[in-house]
């Protein structure tokens, strides 16, 4: 669910280990991110005959859901800079019987497409990690058709349950510790106006931001949520490595207690606050 890197400068988010973790937790991760996928697909408003480009597609969403919505009446191209999640995405699309989607290894900073190729561009939890944001957004503008839209979903602030119960709890045990620099990038568009301003500077005529809080439910226990977070949130690894061995059990127990506040005995019902921005060419 969280394969977000689109630059070698941010390879931590796209490591081979992370791709393996995404495969391990495939069903749970898909369920957890389903509301985010639905939100971006709804905002995209794809219509028959449209061509859509999904950037930093990771293991396949929202590209697969867009292709399913279009079926034989349109097509989706999905790109990521890392081949490992693309392989998983291709397998998922094949299992769904989708023939109107293709996956390519490509960089958002230099899109291998002609001008005005797409009606829609989407990116779920990817745009925060562009190494050169202005350049990548100008590339999006270039390949969009006039009147086309880019629908971008980014994390809101760090202060929300998924991060506060996990990394936030660890921070409380480590006086003076901070969120690692690589991880801070996840929240760069968590302040209103920042993403919209960059998009307008990249020639988009309008960029409308909307912050929403969506279900982010894990179909399982707090123990699984904590293990999953450590597996996939690779940029937080330096923070976890600072935990003294003598304190590790205490920290784990504290994290599980915090996550447990959201556990109903079957599912861990977290929420995700995200920035959904629609930019018009």
| 248 inside domain | no
Q: In the block, which residue shows the tokens 């597996």?
A: 231
Q: Which domain holds residue 23?
A: 8-157+182-216+273-280
| 261 inside domain | no
What does DSSP say about strands 144-155 and 101-105: parallel, antiparallel, or unpaired?
A: unpaired
Which residues have C-beta within 8 Å of that of residue 189, sequence separation ≥ 6? 127, 128, 154, 155, 195, 275, 277
| 125 inside domain | yes
| 26 inside domain | yes
DSSP designation for 230:
H
| 20 inside domain | yes
Of 276, 1, 6, 33, which is closest to residue 149 (Cα–Cα)?
276
CA distance 236 to 198: 26
| 264 inside domain | no
Helix (H, G, I), strand (E, B) or coil at 117: coil
151: domain CATH number is 3.40.50.150
| 116 inside domain | yes
Mean pLDDT of the chain: 92
DSSP designation for 14:
G
Structural domain count, the chain: 1
Q: What angle do CA 19, 42, 216 make, to 5 degrees?
A: 50
Q: Print pLDDT tens along the chain (281 aa).
A: 333 333 333 444 444 455 555 668 888 999 999 999 999 999 999 999 999 999 999 889 999 999 999 988 999 999 999 888 899 899 999 999 999 999 999 999 999 999 999 999 999 999 999 999 999 999 999 999 999 999 999 999 999 999 999 999 999 999 899 999 989 999 999 999 999 999 999 999 999 999 999 999 999 999 999 999 998 888 899 999 999 999 999 999 999 999 999 999 999 999 999 999 999 99
Note the pLDDT of residue 85: 87
pTM of the model as a whole = 0.91
What does DSSP say about strands 75-80 and 51-55: parallel, antiparallel, or unpaired?
A: parallel
Q: What does each C-alpha distance from 59 to 8, 25, 142, 203 come to in angstroms?
A: 18, 12, 25, 30
Asked if residue 81 lies in contact with residue 7, where contact means CB atoms within 8 angstroms, the answer is: yes
| 143 inside domain | yes
């Amino acid at each position: 669910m969280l394969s977000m890197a689109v630059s070698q400068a941010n390879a931590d988010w796209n490591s081979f280990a992370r791709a393996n973790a995404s495969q391990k937790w495939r069903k749970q991760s898909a369920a957890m991110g389903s509301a985010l996928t639905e939100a971006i697909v709804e905002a995209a408003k794809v219509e028959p005959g449209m061509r859509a480009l999904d950037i930093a597609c990771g293991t396949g969403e929202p590209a697969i859901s867009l292709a399913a919505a279009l079926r034989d009446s349109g097509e989706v191209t999905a790109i990521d800079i890392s081949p490992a999640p693309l392989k998983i995405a291709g397998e998922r699309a094949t299992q769904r019987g989708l023939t109107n989607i293709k996956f390519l290894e490509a960089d958002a900073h230099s899109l291998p497409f002609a001008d005005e190729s797409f009606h829609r561009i989407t990116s779920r939890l990817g745009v925060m990690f562009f190494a050169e944001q202005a350049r990548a957004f100008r590339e999006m503008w270039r390949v969009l058709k006039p009147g086309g839209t880019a629908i971008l979903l980014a994390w809101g602030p760090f202060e929300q349950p998924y991060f506060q119960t996990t990394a936030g709890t660890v921070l409380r045990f480590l006086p003076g510790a901070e969120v690692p620099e690589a991880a801070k990038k996840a929240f760069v568009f968590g302040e209103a106006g920042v993403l919209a301003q960059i998009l307008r500077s990249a020639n988009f005529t309008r960029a409308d931001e909307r912050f929403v809080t969506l279900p982010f439910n894990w179909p399982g226990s707090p123990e699984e949520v904590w293990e999953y977070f450590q597996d996939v949130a690779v940029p937080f690894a330096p923070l976890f490595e600072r935990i003294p061995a003598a304190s590790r059990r205490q920290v784990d127990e504290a994290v599980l207690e915090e996550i447990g506040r959201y556990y109903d005995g079957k599912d861990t019902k977290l929420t995700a606050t995200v920035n959904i921005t629609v930019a018009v060419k």
